């Protein structure tokens, strides 16, 4: 397995973040492509060439692009036309940067497969997945608000090009899903993973939690009441069992470090690198 980091977690501009990843001896970076300097509508041809050259000089590849639209993902039908078109442009960008994965939170998948929301989301992901598949890309749904079996059943109803970006901490913090069980359930769909840790403090309906995030972002929720993201190795993810499960299914892709909170993310990223290198 290869180690990467979400470049934006360094809280610096992209060029400096790429250099930071090189300094840690990582193999790749995941880059946000929905807004800011790397979004398709802003990224000029000359800037693309600058980043390609910098990545090459640093010996790094793009592990994935993040195509997370925020808000309610693909839950609201009237919003999906624009979101699908933006996703397609990010998939095009992934092709240009020679990565095979675009990740995204897509909203809360209902367990009821006949619910209107399930069908709206399925229609949108089907379109994105087929476009991705035609380009040699996988549209990877990030684990979060639903149990692994619900996610698996959803993906099986698409027509290809849809996979999983497995974040073990999201399972631990929000749904209480065992990440090890999730690996075995989702084994044929996992194309990228996030290396993150956390603890669940209080049970709550995941739909409620993600609804607050969607409507107001992290500021709308007193996160510490429900869960806490911790530095890797300090939470409830059992990395020995989790990594064994990934090996068991033959996963040899990226473990991409994500650190969304904390006062010193660079230090926590460095600790995550040191921690995981003792285990892979």
Location of structure tokens 């997945």: 129
Residue 203 phi/psi, 5° resolution?
-70, 140
Beta bridge partners of 104: 141
Question: The domain spanning residue 182 has which CATH number?
Answer: 3.20.20.150
The total of structural domains in the chain comes to 1
Beta bridge partners of 29: 5, 62
Distances (CA, A) of 150 to 49, 144, 265: 41, 11, 32
Beta bridge partners of 194: 256
- Token readout for 118 is 């399930």
Res 223: pLDDT: 58
CA separation for the pair 54, 74 (Å, rounded): 34
Closest CA to 6 of 271, 276, 279, 269: 269
User: Which residues make Cβ contacts (< 8 Å) with residue 250, sequence separation at least 6?
Assistant: none
Range of the domain at 10: 2-277
Q: What is the pLDDT along the chain (280 residues), one digit of tens a residue?
A: 999 999 999 999 999 999 999 999 999 999 999 999 999 999 999 999 999 999 999 999 999 999 998 889 999 999 999 999 999 999 999 999 999 999 999 999 999 999 999 999 999 999 999 999 999 999 999 998 899 999 999 999 999 999 999 999 999 999 999 999 999 999 999 999 999 999 999 888 888 877 767 766 555 445 568 888 999 999 999 999 999 999 999 999 999 999 988 789 999 999 999 999 999 8
Q: How many beta carbons lie within 10 A of that of residue 145, not counting itself? A: 24
Location of structure tokens 């195509």: 67
Q: Is residue 160 classed exposed, middle or buried when 0-12, 13-18 and 19+ CB atoms within 10 A define those classes?
A: middle
CA separation for the pair 248, 122 (Å, rounded): 30
CB of 9 within 8 A of CB of 265?
yes
Predicted TM-score (pTM) above 0.85: yes
């Amino acid at each position: 397995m290869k180690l990467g980091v979400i470049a934006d977690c360094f809280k610096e501009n992209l060029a400096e973040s790429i250099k930071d990843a090189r300094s840690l001896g990582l193999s790749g970076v995941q880059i946000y492509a929905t807004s800011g300097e790397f979004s398709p509508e802003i990224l000029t041809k000359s800037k693309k060439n600058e980043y390609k050259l910098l990545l090459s000089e640093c010996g790094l590849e793009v592990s994935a692009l993040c195509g997370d639209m925020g808000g309610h993902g693909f839950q609201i039908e009237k919003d999906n036309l624009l979101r699908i078109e933006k996703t397609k442009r990010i998939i095009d960008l992934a092709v240009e940067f020679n990565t095979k994965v675009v990740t995204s939170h897509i909203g809360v998948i209902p367990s009821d497969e006949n619910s209107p929301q399930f069908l709206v989301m399925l229609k949108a992901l089907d379109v994105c997945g087929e476009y991705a598949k035609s380009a040699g890309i996988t549209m990877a749904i990030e684990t979060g608000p639903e149990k692994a079996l619900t996610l698996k059943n959803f993906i099986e109803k698409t027509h290809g090009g849809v996979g999983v970006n497995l974040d073990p901490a999201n399972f631990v913090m929000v749904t209480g899903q065992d990440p090890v069980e999730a690996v075995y359930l989702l084994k044929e769909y996992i194309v990228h993973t996030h290396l993150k840790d956390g603890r669940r403090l209080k049970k709550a309906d995941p739909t409620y939690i993600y609804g607050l995030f969607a409507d107001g972002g992290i500021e709308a929720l007193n996160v510490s009441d429900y869960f806490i993201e911790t530095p890797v190795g300090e939470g409830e993810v059992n990395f020995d069992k989790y990594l064994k499960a990934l090996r068991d299914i033959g996963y040899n892709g990226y473990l991409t470090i994500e650190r969304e909170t904390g006062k010193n993310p660079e230090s926590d990223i460095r600790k995550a690198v040191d921690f995981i290198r003792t285990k892979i």
